[in-house]
Amino acid sequence: MKLSISIHSAITTLKKNRTRSTLTSIGIVIGVASVIMMVGFGYSAKIVVRQKVFSFGENAVVVQGSPKEFITAKDSKYLRDNFYEIKYASLNTTEKNIRISKGSKVASTLLNAVENDFFQIQGWKLKYGSYFSREQMDNLENVVIVGDTIRKNFIGFTDPVGQEIIIDGKPFRIIGSLEPRGLTFTQTDFDDFVAMPYMTFHSRIKNEKIRTELFVGAVDEQSLGKAINILKSYFRQKYNQTADEKDDFVILTNDENLEIAEYISLTLSSLLIGIASISLIVGGIGIMNIMLVSVSERTREIGIRMAIGARNRDILMQFIIESVTLCVLGGITGILLGYLIYFIIILMLGWQFYFSLLSIIISFSFACFVGIFFGYYPAKKAAKLNPIDALRYE
């Protein structure tokens, strides 16, 4: 029997029992949809996790200079201007528990004294206003950019640009407010901080020398390793270190946090996909049961087919194709349903959508495998029927 005839016959048979066919394929639909959703959620969650663990920003490192000689604005400018691999460089002095007030509202917050590249390295986006202008930085103006928590607590749910707040007893004008980023895994508020120009801080707040960090952002992930080597070479030369001397500076990366996050993400994704795959197996068992019932119901039909020349392999192929067709239709429906539910949920969460062709191929292939595996026994049972006994079956 030709394959096309077998497929047409299988589809015709399934159409005659639409309700039963639909109910039978539900297990496959749920299984495939679950796998699609879990792969999507796993990738989207991975992006969120990476954003949370990138303490210094994506593709970024932090250099803590020698206590003997501080890192300066000349260093950041030189590195940024002379090396292609280094896209951003910003000095950063962190002051914890700085006093901030406006009217009767008083609080302690984190202050970052930075250059404009700091916001690009950290991935901060403006909600209101602008970054520091060259004129504001050169003239040591009392201006700040605030995190979203500071904006809400001291200004309210409005545009804060132009408002004045008191920092360490001195008035500062807000020129910008950043988009919210939420909490870290340790429940530290990303948005509870203020940022001011680096030189303004060191002339208005603390004019003594304070050990400064240098935030460096590479062009891309592939260039990060080269950027680190450039930094090592540059600062060893800056501090006049010989080949046998230990580095008099520290370069901090996100590697350790990222490895932990990747491990957690991979473990959870594998667990969720494994659980979702159980639905496919349950669906396959359901298909096998229904196909066995179908063989019993169609025993006389099988006898007639054999009597007019159908071979054992034709009967075998007929029932396997019916089983596979059920799984294929269930797989297609599951893929569409899975992506629909996944899209709706991540839209509500504000996560990034991820389309995986590989997960579609694997889910679809597994659905076909389930159809063949669980359909083979009923098909084999049908093919082994004795034609005479099948014709006598009532």
DSSP states of 43-56 as a string? Answer: HHHHHHHHHHH-TT
Higher-scoring residue by pLDDT: 19, 243: 243
Pairing mode, strands 86-102 and 143-146: unpaired
Place 393 in a pLDDT band, splitting at 50, 70 and 90.
very low
Tell me the Ramachandran region of residue 259: left when phi exceeds 0, alpha when psi lies from -120 to 50, beta otherwise: alpha
Query: Which of these, 70, 64, 78, 109, lies nearest to 208 by C-alpha position?
Result: 70
Report pLDDT digits (tens) over 264-307: 767 777 777 777 677 767 777 777 776 666 666 665 665 666 66
Q: Which residue has the tokens 């009597």?
A: 307
Does the pLDDT at position 160 exceed 90?
yes
Q: Which residue has the tokens 């066995």?
A: 292
Taking CA atoms, 96 is separated from 108, 124, 208, 279, in Å, by 8, 20, 16, 52
Give residue 73's identity as a one-letter amino acid code.
Answer: A
Q: 28-37, 231-240, 245-254, 312-321: lowest mean pLDDT where?
A: 312-321
For residues 132-150, average pLDDT = 94
How much is the pLDDT for 158?
A: 92
Chain centre to alpha carbon of residue 277: 21
What percent of the chain is predicted at pLDDT more than 90?
A: 30
Taking CA atoms, 237 is separated from 66, 68, 202, 231, 245, in Å, by 12, 14, 26, 10, 12
Quick check: 378 and 322 in contact, CB under 8 A?
no
Rounded to the nearest 10°, the torsion over CA 62, 65, 70, 74 is -50
What percent of the chain is predicted at pLDDT more than 70?
A: 73
For residues 354-382, average pLDDT = 74
How much is the pLDDT for 305?
A: 65
Both structure tokens of 102: 């406006």
**Residues 115, 197: Cα–Cα separation, whole Å:** 6
Place 39 in a pLDDT band, splitting at 50, 70 and 90.
confident
Number of Cβ within a 10 Å radius of residue 289 = 13
**Residues 315, 48: Cα–Cα separation, whole Å:** 52
- In degrees and rounded to multiples of 5, residue 95 shows phi and psi of -120, 115
How much is the pLDDT for 390?
A: 47
Q: 34-48, 64-78, 161-175: lowest mean pLDDT where?
A: 34-48
**Residues 29, 150: Cα–Cα separation, whole Å:** 48
Residue 294's H or E segment, with its range, is helix 255-297
Higher-scoring residue by pLDDT: 63, 318: 63
Does the pLDDT at position 175 exceed 90?
yes
How much is the pLDDT for 87?
A: 92
Give residue 341's identity as a one-letter amino acid code.
Answer: I
Place 53 in a pLDDT band, splitting at 50, 70 and 90.
low
Does the pLDDT at position 119 exceed 50?
yes
Q: 9-23, 155-169, 344-358: lowest mean pLDDT where?
A: 9-23
pTM here is 0.61
Place 68 in a pLDDT band, splitting at 50, 70 and 90.
confident
How much is the pLDDT for 110?
A: 93
**With the C-alpha atoms ordered 79, 144, 254, 65, is the resulting torsion angle positive or negative?**
positive
